[in-house]
Amino acid sequence: MALRLENKNALITGGASGIGRATAIRFAEEGANIFVADRHLQAAEETAAEVRKLGRKAAAHQVDTSDEAQVNAMVAKMVAEMGGVDIVVAAAGISHAHYGEEGQPDAVPLSEKSFANWKRVLSVNLDGVFLTCRACAAAMIKAGKGGRIVNIASGAARVPTPGVGEYSVSKAGVWMLTKVLAAELAQYNITANAIGPGFIKTPMTASIQESPNMVPLLQRVPLHRMGEAVDVANTALFLASEEGRYYTGSILHPDGGLLMQ
């Protein structure tokens, strides 16, 4: 049986952990070569090593996706080393301005929100996805072979999240960005879709997994449990494969039924 992504080259941003890492490994299982990009190089190297164990080519690259020059250099390096970009999964993102630091989330209303913290979240979650998609789309158009763009948004793109409104706004922006890309890139046989996960077990959600608030949160989920990163990876695999070739401008929600209403 043929592998679904045999000999495809996939760029995964945020590929060092969580959804990005699960997607890199799942794609490699289906035959893809993986360019793992993340701000944490050592962890990206660990993901790349797992990909190589599966018999696929892999490279790790350190990048701040909110930096235009770094993103352009990342895609240029991938094209030079792997021969092109067939698939991009833009999974790099943060839940709040101090994510990855010792600081706590800026959980206050937008009326009291620090502009610096607002800008930080938007720069990574929205600007970073735009820059990544722009550079990859240009490479795909030049190659003339079509392509697949998969952006990781969130269920928060549809549902407001008081206290971390900048996160909801950034993910809603990713959803609209994806639809515009879909409309503009269809002529080149490049599809663009988004994924809006619900509550998924990842390092980003570690704090809420341990919170007493998790019980009432899961009561809102018809399946009454959190999802796994591989559930999102499988959704990305569908959109990146031939099975998903007639999807563009869509957002799929692996969320246990949370958003069914």
Q: Return the number of other C-beta atoms located less than 10 Å from residue 8's C-beta.
A: 21
Q: Would you please indicate which residues are annotated as catalytic (active-site) residues?
A: 167
CATH class of this structure's domain 9-252: alpha beta
Question: What pTM did the predictor assign?
Answer: 0.95
pLDDT at 213: 66
pLDDT at 224: 87
Residue ranges of the domains in the chain?
9-252
pLDDT at 210: 65
Beta-bridge mates of residue 87: 10, 148
Cα 226 from Cα 209, distance rounded (Å): 9
Inter-residue contact 88 to 148 (CB < 8 Å)? yes
What is the mean pLDDT of each successive set of 10 residues along the chain, which is 261 residues long? 93 98 98 98 98 98 98 98 98 90 74 95 98 98 98 95 94 98 98 96 70 74 92 98 98 94 59
Cα 71 from Cα 221, distance rounded (Å): 37
In angstroms, what CA-CA distances link 178 with 27, 34, 170, 230?
21, 22, 12, 22
Q: Return the number of other C-beta atoms located less than 10 Å from residue 64's C-beta.
A: 17
In angstroms, what CA-CA distances link 7 with 10, 83, 115, 203, 222?
10, 11, 44, 30, 38
pLDDT at 219: 85
pLDDT at 92: 97
